[in-house]
Amino acid sequence: MSEGPRGHLVFACGGSLYAVPAERASEVVNLPSLTRVPGAAPHLLGVFAHRGEVLPVIDLTRLIGKPADEAFRRVVVVRVGRGVMAFTATKVIGVSAIEGAPPRLGESGALAFMHGPARVPSGDCATIDPEGLLEFLARGR
């Protein structure tokens, strides 16, 4: 039995579209000045303080090994049971219903926590499993 449609916040990062479950996307904020983290992986651009929390900023293009796109001006703040993180966004598209669970984009690395392609009105996107991705990133991979 397939899942019914679920609302996802769709956003662009570089030339690709991504989506996170709408109930996990707490807000979209303008990208503030970041504090660099010495020795951090290239996809961790830095951290910033927001509403009493320190949020890591993840560049999805760098995370999956694509060339960096520095055109982002905003971040999508994503909350899961274990913590919070922010993904860079060049454009926020809006909320779209995505039906079912598309196949994983990869078997290992960050792509194991992304599914797609999922069809949304603005094109095909990769849906992100934020809980799994945060767990993966916390392990330092």
Tell me the per-residue pLDDT of 36-60, one tens digit each, with 9 for 90 and over: 999 999 999 999 999 999 999 999 9
Phi, psi of 84 (to 5 degrees): -140, 150
pLDDT reading at 101 higher than 90? no
Give the C-alpha separation, 3 to 83, whole Å: 26
SS3 86: strand
Which pLDDT band holds residue 82 (cuts at 50, 70, 90)? confident
Count of other CB atoms within 10 angstroms of residue 85? 22
- Please give the angle made by the CA atoms of 43, 98 and 56, to the nearest 5 degrees: 20
- Mean pLDDT for 111-119 is 95
Percent pLDDT > 70 in the chain is: 96
Res 1: pLDDT: 42
- Closest by CA to 134, choosing from 52, 27, 58, 45, is 58
Q: Is residue 8 domain-resident?
A: no
What pTM was estimated for this model as a whole? 0.92
Q: Is residue 22 domain-resident?
A: yes
Q: Is residue 4 domain-resident?
A: no
102: preceding bond cis by omega (within 30 degrees): no
Range of the domain at 54: 16-138
- Mean pLDDT for 79-105 is 93
Res 93: pLDDT: 96
Q: How many domains does the chain have?
A: 1
Q: Is residue 3 domain-resident?
A: no
The CATH number that applies at residue 58 is: 2.40.50.180
- Mean pLDDT for 69-94 is 93
Q: Is residue 40 domain-resident?
A: yes
- Mean pLDDT for 87-99 is 94
pLDDT reading at 73 higher than 60? yes
